[in-house]
Structure 1
Amino acid sequence: MVRVLSNKIQKDELKPGDHIYSWRNLYIYAHHGIYVGNGIVIHFTRGPGQETGTGTVLDRFIFSSFPSDPSKTPCPICGDQSKSDGVISSCLECFLYGGELYLFQYGISPAMFLAKARGGTCTLARSDPTEDVLHRAEYLLQNGFGAYNAFKNNCEDFAIYCKTGLIVFTRVSVGRSGQAGSYLAAFDAIASSPLHFLTTGFVGLTAGCGIYCISRIMSDIGVRRDVRKIPVERLVTHSR
């Protein structure tokens, strides 16, 4: 029952190939990565100059996946990564950046998916074998994962691709990220229902919750129809 409310795990529970995350900025956004063993995480970060983000002021406050702290002594393992971008390798402590450790869940039931009202914590899609996950992560560490975009190609998208090999092939929708999906689902719930129904009365709240849940589950990588399984070598070649 505890795991229904939280995906928090202890460091000694980690296994190579795990998709992990840690919340940032007062739980507004979570940063995701793939644990590869020996205390190392491969993850996709934003960096100055090369990654597109949302193209708005929100990038500075919400979508910073690797906060910069000029007063902090560089990590003896990772060095100074405050200006790193793209796919990088970090020790677990640098990845967490003082946050707590959570395990992203795969292959859960629709009921469990909806019980976790916050997006970016789980998916109905099933994970591939560990060796495939690690191969994708290591390959992308050497070859990159394209330009960062908060809604179409972010750190969660990177980790989900490493775990499943699934890629969204349409240009008009969001990527695989459950976080982006939940924000858009909330927008759909508000836009689709008159405001006074959402703010007054049980029926209005129920309708709003129903729209939010349907939008979330329909955007999940495990049920979407606009995805294909793409080998990592082909993905990198296509993105260049």
Structure 2
Amino acid sequence: MGVFFNKIDKEQLKPGDHIYSWRQAYLYAHHGIYIGEGKVIHFTRGAGQEIGTGTFLDRIIFSASPAHPADNPCPRCGDSPRLDGVISSCVDCFLSGGDLYLFEYGVSHALFLAKARGGTCTLAKSDPPEDVRHRAKFLLENGFGVYHVFKNNCEDFAIYCKTGLLVNTSISVGRSGQAASLVAAASAVVSSPLRFLTTSFGGLAAVTYGMYSVSRLVSDIGVRRDVHKVAVEELVANPSLDDSSVANDIAKEE
């Protein structure tokens, strides 16, 4: 793995890997957990389910479900009874014609900042592969709640499977590096008071990029203080664990 490339071959896949593939000309990436035997468990949305119905995101983000007609199912996946929510697909259906990339865990601060595009790595450590697969398989049977592009998306699902961490405050983003990058970019452009300290284009660009980088870093699941570990059985038994009031109660008990 390097600063610019996380691309891997299918032969390099290991059970428990967090993988992703870019969609819509690198506009966003779809994430999942490889569980072995050519299968990936991932969290998808139905039309209009990312942050509500009929939002502008419906027009630029399509469902990542396997695109096979009902009368001609994938020979590897079979005739899947469910095409959104947490689903299991073969690697090829998951990739949907895209390349395969490996999401990195436990990276250094320097490498994290060098990878300017969010949703490719985190400072957080991964749990053992058997724990990762257990969470993914359990959520395949029990679901992962309502899809939300900023708070509960496919990357949030994969990061939870890898770490067991949930956010316990009511903020605008969940665990997703993609969502954090989008928010950080908007914040850096419109909110930085330091942008008034320079008049040159180069200085403005440097200040804006610095604010963007800091915002990304403090939003990463590996450094945030508003997270706690939740067993997957507890998450399913209490679907409102993503609500800050419930999560804070659990954190106090711990």
TM-score by length of 2: 0.86
Cα offset, 1:197, TM superposition: 8.0
Cα gap change, 1:208 to 1:76, in 2 (>3 Å): same
Cα offset, 1:68, TM superposition: 4.3
For residues 71 and 98 of structure 1, the distance between their equivalents in structure 2, rounded to whole angstroms, comes to 19
- Cα deviation, 1:150-209, whole Å, max 9, x if unaligned, reads 000000000000000000121233100000000001001101248898994221111001
Counterpart of 1:218 in structure 2 is 218
Counterpart of 1:172 in structure 2 is 171
Q: Which amino acid aligns with 2:133?
A: L
Report if aligned partners of 2:47, 2:58 keep a CA contact under 8 Å in 1: no
Counterpart of 2:93 in structure 1 is 94
Report if aligned partners of 1:47, 1:83 keep a CA contact under 8 Å in 2: no
Counterpart of 1:204 in structure 2 is 204
1:159 aligns with 2:158: yes
Amino-acid identity (%): 63
Report if aligned partners of 2:18, 2:33 keep a CA contact under 8 Å in 1: yes
For residues 57 and 175 of structure 2, the distance between their equivalents in structure 1, rounded to whole angstroms, comes to 20
Cα gap change, 1:161 to 1:128, in 2 (>3 Å): same
Cα gap change, 1:226 to 1:72, in 2 (>3 Å): farther
Equivalenced residue count is: 238
1:14 aligns with 2:13: yes
Q: Which moved more, 1:40-49 or 1:149-158?
A: 40-49
Counterpart of 2:75 in structure 1 is 76
Counterpart of 2:51 in structure 1 is 53
Cα gap change, 1:115 to 1:142, in 2 (>3 Å): same
Counterpart of 2:229 in structure 1 is 229
The CA RMSD measured in Å over matched residues stands at 2.4
Cα offset, 1:219, TM superposition: 0.5
Counterpart of 1:23 in structure 2 is 22
Report if aligned partners of 1:105, 1:122 keep a CA contact under 8 Å in 2: yes
Cα offset, 1:52, TM superposition: 4.2
Structure 1 SS opposite 2:32: strand
Q: Which moved more, 1:218-227 or 1:56-65?
A: 56-65
Counterpart of 2:250 in structure 1 is none
- Cα deviation, 1:68-100, whole Å, max 9, x if unaligned, reads 465994311224569711100000000000000
1:186 aligns with 2:185: yes
Structure 1 SS opposite 2:189: helix
* Structure 2: unaligned runs, 5 residues or longer: 241-254
Report if aligned partners of 2:66, 2:93 keep a CA contact under 8 Å in 1: no
Cα offset, 1:21, TM superposition: 0.2
